[in-house]
Chains A and B, each alone.
Chain A
C-alpha cells in the first residue's frame, strides 16, 4: 500500500521524533547511530502505515519499530564485536570514591553498562512514560519480566553510581563490579 502521510500524520510523526531520539540515544549511546535508527523507524512506519490501528498509541507503535530495528542491528554487530561491553571499559571511569557527585556523564556510562534488556525496560518505564503493560507490549514480553528488568536496572545503576549506602548488599563485590568495566 502506498503511504499517505496526511499533514496531521506528518505532524504526529514529527512530534514523536524528540522522544524517539531520546530513547534511541539512551539505548545506543551514540547520537549518529540513534539518528539513523530514528530515520529507519520513520521510513518503516510510513511503509507499514496500513498496519497501524488508528486510535491506538502511535508512540508505542513507533517505539516498537525502533526497538526491533535496534535489536536486529545489534545482533548483526555482535557477531563483529566479540565483547560489546569491553568497548566501554576504556571510557568508563566510575570511581566510587568520587563520592556522591553525579553528572550525566557518569549516569550515561552507568546506563551503558546495563544489559540492553534492562536498559530498554528502564528507559521505557522510567523515562519515556510508558506503563509496564505498554513496555511489555513494545518488548514482546510479560509484564512481570518488565517489572523485573526495571527493578534490576535501578539496582545495578544505584550500585554503579554508588548512590546509596549499600552495606547490606556486598559493597566489595559492588566496588569490584564498578571498577571492572
Chain B
C-alpha cells in the first residue's frame, strides 16, 4: 500500500520521476504514453456505457438499471486511476532498466465486463420487468 502512495506522489511530480535512472529512448516513452491513452479510452468507454445503460434501457427495473450503470462507472473510475498508475510504474521501470511491471488488472477488468455481460443476458432472458 505504501508503494501505491509513493506512486500517487509521482503522478504529480515530474522532477521526482526524472531523478531516477537514465532517460529511455523517447520512442519507448511515446509507446508507453499511447498505452496509457488506450487504457484511458477504455475507461471513458466504460463511463459512456454507464450512461448508455441508464438512458437506453428505460423499461428495465430501476434497481437493475442503477446497479449495472454504477458497476460500469466504477469499473471506468478504477480503469482510469490504474491507467495513470501503470504508466508511472512503466516509465520508472524503463528509466531504471528494470522489467516492466506485471499486472493483474486486465484479468480483473475482463471478469467485471464478463459479469456485467452475463447480467445483461439474464435481464434480457428473464424479461425487462424482471
Chain A complexes with chain B: no
Using CB atoms and an 8 Å cutoff, list the residues of chain B in contact with chain A: none
Interface residues of A (CB under 8 A from B): none
